[in-house]
Amino acid sequence: MISLIIATMNRSSYIIRYIDALEKQSFDGQLLIGDSSNRFHLNIIKNHIKKKKYNYEIILKHYPKKLPHVCIYNIKKFVKHDYLMWICDDDILIIKTLKKCIQFLDKNKNFSGVGGKILSVYIEKNIGIVGYEKYPCREVLLNNPLDRVKSIISNYNVVHYCLSRKTDFLERFPNGSSNFDKGIGAEFFPTLMLCAQGKVKMLDELFCIRQIHPERKILKSIKKLKNNKNFLYSVNYMKNSLINKILKIKKNDHLKVKREIFKTIDGHYKKLILKKNTYKKNNIFFLFLKKINNKMYFKIKIILHKLRFFKSINEYKKYKNIEPFLRYYP
């Protein structure tokens, strides 16, 4: 059995969509919603849940104006099942693949997380789906915990959106302070701790559909945070937690581990501060086609993207089951 956690704020349409998408896939676990919304959005979700009896348990808790990691920290005490993951309110999981992830973790005790292929679906207002792209998600298979942490930082991917054992997951959200940085608390620290805990596997099956849309919440640039006291506190907390975890798993020289963790994390942030934005250049043919026939442009683009991503009819069927839920929610 699986528990899923969603931290959300003022996006009741996405939560309702998620509740119904899980029901359609015959999900039979537990959904925990940590909602930091205003009363208007909270009541919409409450009323939707009351309308019918679902085949799975839904727990909705209100944490007004709280950051995602604070919502997760507070709601984690209600988790009932041995397998657990956090998912964003605009990403939809494929439950059949999620159940295969349980089987993998049962057989592989040295793995701390398992996910699969992720499809990004681009949606524009008044148009709908305009494109698909494979979301980069990598495995981390090194034996040494320090090497795994260094590896994920040097070639960074947000791999912590995967299924884990309850004990491992809870260890990734140890700080419920609102003074903890949002990006570190909700993404960077859980990702690094996941890799310190064990290896990370990605199954070659459709695992999640990410919706790229105008309502997406984007983290602040590191350039704006580098002198922020909450950010600096969070970085130091993260470093020390990782050092302690690595030394607990594998006996090593404390000074060596400390030096490597500080060097790798500091180097990562320096790169982000110096990094310049890069943009993909579109094919000239497609730019011309878009100018003369917008609808035809998107039709051809979608067909090509589908051919590139879907490897089997079975995988495409999993996607088609979810496609009705993919649309722009203002």
Answer yes or no: is 8 within a domain.
no
Q: What is the pLDDT of residue 281?
A: 47
pLDDT tens per residue across span 137-160: 899 999 999 999 999 999 998 999
Q: What is the mean pLDDT of residues 50-65?
A: 95
pLDDT tens per residue across span 1-26: 899 999 999 999 999 999 999 999 99
Q: Which amino acid is at 316?
A: Y
Edge-to-edge strand order for the sheet containing 30-35? Answer: 57-62, 30-35, 2-8, 83-86, 164-165
Tokens 């302690």 correspond to 244
Answer yes or no: is 58 within a domain.
no
Answer yes or no: is 3 within a domain.
no
Helix 229-249 crosses helix 254-274 at what angle (to 10 degrees)?
Answer: 140
Sign of the torsion formed by the C-alpha atoms of 319, 323, 325 and 330: positive
The answer, yes or no, to whether residue 314 has pLDDT greater than 90, is no
Q: Which residues contact 203 (CB under 8 A, 6 or more apart)?
A: 97, 100, 101, 104, 114, 115, 116, 117
Answer yes or no: is 196 within a domain.
yes
pLDDT tens per residue across span 18-49: 999 999 999 999 999 999 999 999 999 999 99
Answer yes or no: is 286 within a domain.
no
- The domain of 253 spans 92-277+309-325
The answer, yes or no, to whether residue 93 has pLDDT greater than 80, is yes
Q: What is the pLDDT of residue 132?
A: 82
The answer, yes or no, to whether residue 317 has pLDDT greater than 90, is no
Answer yes or no: is 150 within a domain.
yes
Helix 145-154 crosses helix 229-249 at what angle (to 10 degrees)?
Answer: 140
Answer yes or no: is 48 within a domain.
no
pLDDT tens per residue across span 225-244: 667 888 899 999 999 999 99
Give the pLDDT band (50/70/90) at residue 177.
Answer: confident
pLDDT tens per residue across span 242-298: 999 999 998 888 999 999 999 999 999 888 877 654 444 444 444 444 445 555 655
pTM over 0.75: yes
pLDDT tens per residue across span 178-232: 889 888 999 999 999 999 999 999 999 999 999 887 666 665 566 666 678 888 9
Answer yes or no: is 7 within a domain.
no
Q: Check: CB of residue 194 under 8 Å from CB of residue 160.
A: yes
Rounded Cα–Cα distance for residues 113 and 184 (Å): 19
Total domains in the fold of the chain: 1
